[in-house]
Amino acid sequence: MKSNKKGKGHYARLKRKAFIQMQLIIVTVAVTVPLLRIILRGQVGDQIVRFLIVTFHMNPSDAQTVYQLVFRNNLDTILLLLTLFFLVVLSWFSISWFTVYFDEISSGMDRLVEDSEDRISLSPGMEFMENRLNTIKDELKRQKQAAQEAEQRKNDLVVHLAHDIRTPLTSVIGYLNLLGEAPDMPAEQRAKYTRITLDKAYRLEQQINEFFEITRYNLQQIKLEKETIDLYYMLAQMTDEFYPILSEKGNTAVLHADENLTVYGDPAKLARVFNNILKNAAAYSYPNTEIVISAEEIEGSIKIDFQNRGKAIPPDKLAAIFEKFYRLDEARASDTGGSGLGLSIAKEIVALHDGTIAAQSKDNTITFTVSLPVAH
């Protein structure tokens, strides 16, 4: 709001400058007309009479009569025409002066799309527009760079996913060939190979689902179907669903919330938000630790915290954790690596609910906080 007022102030100064110039034109014309009247009646009149005598060989009385009839009797008309002439000329110069600004602005707008580090420079009277154009140029450059980085991350992700898919697929084919070529294989060894094949097939399924996730994220426009949700029941159900996943590493999830707590939103979309956060917590928690989920109403908002013990997240990575295709594990471990879309999708869904989502990392404790409006 402050910047808008500042911009209006700059435009006001430009309007004052144009207004002063118009006043100078009026004053110039107002002063010029009486001077012309005096001049035409004085020495200029005598010069006209002398011109008629010399050029047309008139006698002085005839020349004086012609001057009287043509010039003196039509003085008001002549002055009016001269006044209009001066107004047109001065107005033309005034408009030409003002259109210079439009030419500069047009040239500055053309330079917005140029791939150049040079700053846009306008005339001294256009500092406010110069600053705005440079601000827009900086923002366009930032957006272009962000888009390029996102595209690069996406391309890198697709390459790694393709590699990850090939690995379990090769294993599945290899173990199936072993099972097929050795029909008399001992039952214990057959069961082992079957279990390994099934594990690799599940991993392959997960990778394929991640490819579909990327496609859905790029093509779908998220639409909300809001209703009053029993938040406590939703979170409790989710902790139960994650029990088998958490128990593999000896982790547990506990819920601290009022059983009557509700929130207004799209149940399927919010369930996806909580699922993505909890999945992230499960993947990066230390073994045999507890994931604490708490929810409460604070100052007109529903605050939901997901807290787990795990490796600290550096500040630079914490700032980028909600970006598309960003993956925290640079080593790209197959067991924990996801598509890098879960938290980005969660952020978008929360924003559509007029809420916020944030992450904190301190003393090997990671906390994701979702704030949503209270139930309507």
Per-residue tens of pLDDT for the chain, all 376 residues: 444 444 455 556 666 676 777 777 777 767 776 776 666 665 667 777 788 788 888 888 887 787 777 776 776 677 777 777 777 777 777 776 667 777 777 777 777 777 777 788 776 666 777 788 888 888 888 888 878 877 776 676 666 667 667 777 888 888 888 888 888 888 888 888 888 888 888 878 876 776 666 666 554 566 788 999 999 999 999 998 888 888 889 999 999 999 999 999 999 889 989 988 998 899 889 999 999 999 999 888 999 999 999 988 888 777 778 776 555 554 444 444 455 567 877 888 898 899 999 999 988 999 999 999 886 5
Fold of 227-373: Heat Shock Protein 90 (3.30.565)
What local confidence, expressed as pLDDT, does residue 339 receive? 52
What's the confidence (pLDDT) of residue 308? 94
User: Would 150-219 and 227-373 be classified into the same CATH topology?
Assistant: no
Estimate the crossing angle of helix 2-41 against helix 127-181, to 10 degrees.
Answer: 140
What pLDDT is attached to residue 82? Answer: 73
Inter-residue contact 282 to 262 (CB < 8 Å): no
Q: Which two tokens stand for residue 28?
A: 């110039």
Number of CB atoms found within 10 A of residue 305's CB: 17
Q: At what angle do helices 187-219 and 127-181 cross, to 10 degrees?
A: 160
Number of Cα atoms under 13 Å in the Cβ half of residue 213: 22
Question: How many C-beta neighbours within 10 Å does residue 322 have?
Answer: 19
Closest CA to 347 of 326, 370, 319, 364: 370
Query: For position 30, what pLDDT does the model report?
Result: 72
- In angstroms, the CA 34 to CA 139 distance is 57
The closest alpha carbon to 344, from 262, 280, 250, 252, belongs to: 280
d(CA 310, CA 299): 30
| Burial class of residue 298 in the structure, from the number of CB atoms within 10 Å of its CB (0-12 exposed, 13-18 middle, 19+ buried) | exposed
3-state helix, strand, coil in the chain (%, to 5): 65, 15, 20
What distance in Å separates the CA atoms of residue 218 and residue 186, rounded to the nearest whole number? 48
pLDDT of residue 332: 40
Q: Is residue 362 helix, strand or coil?
A: strand
Under DSSP, the state recorded for 375 is P
pTM over 0.75: no
Query: What is the length of the chain?
Result: 376
CATH architecture of 150-219: Orthogonal Bundle (1.10)
pLDDT at position 201 is: 86
For the chain, the domains span 2-113, 150-219, 227-373
Report the candidate in 250, 289, 275 with the shortest Cα–Cα distance to residue 368.
275
Q: Looking at residue 133, what is its pLDDT?
A: 83
